[in-house]
Structure 1
Amino acid sequence: MTRAGDDVLGVLTVRAGRSDAEINASSLTGTLGDQSVTVALEPISRTPRRAMLVVDTSGSMGEEGMRTARSAAKSFIAAAPKDVLVGLVSFANTSGVDVPLTVDRARLGRSVDALQSNGETALYAAIQTAAKALGPSGERSVILLSDGGDTMAKNKARDAEAAVATLTKGGIRAEVVAFNTDETDTKVLDRFAAAGGGSVVQAGDDKAVTAAFTAAAKTLDNQVRWRLTPPASLAGRQQLVLSGSVGPQPFRAVTDVDLGNLRTSSPTDPPAGGTPPTNGAPAQFEAPAMSWMLPAAIGALFLGLFGLVAALLAPAFQSKRSKRVAGVEVYLPEREITARARRDRSPSALTTSLVAFGDKRMADRKSTGKTMALIERADLPFRAGEWWVIRMVAIVVVASMGFLLMGGWIGLILGILLGILLPAIVLRILAARRAKQFDNQLPDALMLVSSSLGAGFSLHQALDAVAKDSADPLAKEFSRALAEARIGAEVADALERVGERMDSQNTRWTAMAIKIQREVGGNLAETLRTTAQTIRDRHSLTRHVAALSAEGKLSAYILIALPIGLFVYMLMVNRPYVALLWTTPLGLLMTLAAVALLAVGTFWMSKTVKVEV
Structure 2
Amino acid sequence: MGSPAAAATASIDYSEPDGGSLQLVLSLSELAPGETPDLDSLSASFEGQQLDASIEAIDDASGEESIARTAVLALDVSNSMRGAKFEAAKSAASAFLDEVPSDIEVGLVTFASEVTVAQEPTTDRDAVRAVIDELELSAQTRLYDGLLEAVTVSGDEGSRSVLLLSDGADTSDTPLAEVESKVERSEVVVDVVALAQNAADTDTLSGIARAGNGQVLSADDPAALTDLFADRAADLASQYLVTVTPPAELAGDEGTLSLALDVGGQPVLDDAFVTLAAASEEPAEAAPATPQPVDPGLTVPVEYMYAGIAAAALGFLAIIGLLVSGGREARQDAVDRGIEAYTRKGAKRLAEANRASENQSVTQQAVAVAEGVLEGREGLEVKLGAKLDAAGLALKPAEWLLVHAGVTVVFGMVALLLSGGNVLYMVGGLFLGGVGAWVFLSFKHRRRLKAFKNQLANTLQLMSGALSAGLSLAQSVDTVVKEGTDPMASEFRRALIETRLGVEIEDALAAIAERMGSVDFEWVVMAIRIQRQVGGNLAELLNKVAETIREREYLERQVMALSAEGRLSVWILGGLPPVFMLYLVLTNPTYVGVMYSTPLGWAMLILMGVLLTVGIFWMKKLVKVEV
* TM-score, normalisation: structure 1: 0.52
1:455–1:227: structure 2 CA closer, same or farther, 3 Å change rule? closer
Given that residues 408 and 429 in structure 2 are in contact (C-alpha distance below 8 angstroms), is that contact kept between their aligned partners in structure 1? yes
2:455 to 437, 441, 450: 441
Aligned to 1:292: 299
Aligned to 2:445: 431
Aligned to 1:496: 510
Encode CA deviations 1:69-124: one digit per residue, 9 max, x unaligned. xxxxxx99964999xxxxxxxxxxxxxxxxxxxxxxxxxx96769xxx99xxxxxx
SS of residue matched to 2:331: helix
Given that residues 322 and 344 in structure 1 are in contact (C-alpha distance below 8 angstroms), is that contact kept between their aligned partners in structure 2? no
Given that residues 453 and 525 in structure 1 are in contact (C-alpha distance below 8 angstroms), is that contact kept between their aligned partners in structure 2? yes
Aligned to 1:542: 556
1:362–1:547: structure 2 CA closer, same or farther, 3 Å change rule? same
1:489–1:224: structure 2 CA closer, same or farther, 3 Å change rule? same
- The answer to whether 1:472 aligns with 2:489 is no
1:351–1:418: structure 2 CA closer, same or farther, 3 Å change rule? same
Aligned to 1:56: none
Deviation of 1:569 after TM superposition, in Å, equals 1.5
Deviation of 1:412 after TM superposition, in Å, equals 5.7
Deviation of 1:320 after TM superposition, in Å, equals 4.8
1:444–1:456: structure 2 CA closer, same or farther, 3 Å change rule? same
Given that residues 297 and 422 in structure 2 are in contact (C-alpha distance below 8 angstroms), is that contact kept between their aligned partners in structure 1? no
SS of residue matched to 1:583: coil
Number of matched pairs: 383
1:504–1:17: structure 2 CA closer, same or farther, 3 Å change rule? closer
Q: Which amino acid aligns with 2:380?
A: S
Aligned to 2:222: none
Structure 1 gap segments, 5+ residues each: 1-14, 20-74, 83-108, 119-176, 179-189, 229-261, 266-285
Q: In structure 1, how many angstroms separate the alpha carbons of the residues matched to 2:459 and 2:590?
A: 59
SS of residue matched to 1:531: helix
Given that residues 300 and 396 in structure 1 are in contact (C-alpha distance below 8 angstroms), is that contact kept between their aligned partners in structure 2? no
1:599–1:382: structure 2 CA closer, same or farther, 3 Å change rule? farther
Q: In structure 2, how many angstroms separate the alpha carbons of the residues matched to 1:379 and 1:537?
A: 28
1:312–1:579: structure 2 CA closer, same or farther, 3 Å change rule? farther
Matches within 5 A, 1:31-42: none
Matches within 5 A, 1:430-579: 430-579=444-593
1:388 to 376, 401, 413: 401
Deviation of 1:441 after TM superposition, in Å, equals 0.3
Aligned to 1:224: 284
1:423–1:592: structure 2 CA closer, same or farther, 3 Å change rule? farther
Q: Which amino acid aligns with 2:367?
A: V
Given that residues 412 and 428 in structure 2 are in contact (C-alpha distance below 8 angstroms), is that contact kept between their aligned partners in structure 1? yes
Matches within 5 A, 1:74-473: 79=65, 200-205=251-256, 212-213=276-277, 219=280, 223-226=283-286, 263=290, 292-293=299-300, 300=308, 304=312, 307=315, 311=319, 314-316=322-324, 320=328, 323-324=331-332, 326=334, 328-329=336-337, 338=350, 349-365=361-377, 366-399=379-412, 416-473=430-487
Matches within 5 A, 1:57-72: none
Q: In structure 1, how many angstroms separate the alpha carbons of the residues matched to 2:539 and 2:22?
A: 105
Given that residues 298 and 423 in structure 2 are in contact (C-alpha distance below 8 angstroms), is that contact kept between their aligned partners in structure 1? no
Aligned to 2:193: none
1:539–1:203: structure 2 CA closer, same or farther, 3 Å change rule? same
1:416–1:314: structure 2 CA closer, same or farther, 3 Å change rule? closer
Q: In structure 1, how many angstroms separate the alpha carbons of the residues matched to 2:294 and 2:63?
A: 25
Q: In structure 2, how many angstroms separate the alpha carbons of the residues matched to 1:486 and 1:438?
A: 23
1:557–1:451: structure 2 CA closer, same or farther, 3 Å change rule? same
Q: In structure 1, how many angstroms separate the alpha carbons of the residues matched to 2:355 and 2:593?
A: 49
Encode CA deviations 1:309-345: one digit per residue, 9 max, x unaligned. 8536743455756631656346899999948779999
Deviation of 1:416 after TM superposition, in Å, equals 4.9
Deviation of 1:288 after TM superposition, in Å, equals 6.4
Structure with larger Rg: 2
Structure 2 gap segments, 5+ residues each: 1-18, 24-60, 69-153, 159-180, 183-244, 258-270
Q: In structure 2, how many angstroms separate the alpha carbons of the residues matched to 1:322 and 1:304?
A: 26
Q: Which amino acid aligns with 1:293?
A: V
Deviation of 1:439 after TM superposition, in Å, equals 0.9
1:595–1:111: structure 2 CA closer, same or farther, 3 Å change rule? farther
Aligned to 1:594: 608
Given that residues 377 and 435 in structure 1 are in contact (C-alpha distance below 8 angstroms), is that contact kept between their aligned partners in structure 2? yes
Deviation of 1:368 after TM superposition, in Å, equals 2.9
1:380–1:78: structure 2 CA closer, same or farther, 3 Å change rule? farther
Given that residues 341 and 350 in structure 2 are in contact (C-alpha distance below 8 angstroms), is that contact kept between their aligned partners in structure 1? no
Q: CA RMSD in A?
A: 4.8
Given that residues 390 and 445 in structure 2 are in contact (C-alpha distance below 8 angstroms), is that contact kept between their aligned partners in structure 1? yes
1:555–1:427: structure 2 CA closer, same or farther, 3 Å change rule? same
SS of residue matched to 2:395: coil
Given that residues 461 and 546 in structure 2 are in contact (C-alpha distance below 8 angstroms), is that contact kept between their aligned partners in structure 1? yes
Given that residues 410 and 582 in structure 1 are in contact (C-alpha distance below 8 angstroms), is that contact kept between their aligned partners in structure 2? no
Q: In structure 1, how many angstroms separate the alpha carbons of the residues matched to 2:527 and 2:401?
A: 39
1:606 to 610, 616, 620: 620
1:376–1:18: structure 2 CA closer, same or farther, 3 Å change rule? closer
**Identical positions, percent:** 33
Q: In structure 1, how many angstroms separate the alpha carbons of the residues matched to 2:340 and 2:593?
A: 55
Deviation of 1:406 after TM superposition, in Å, equals 12
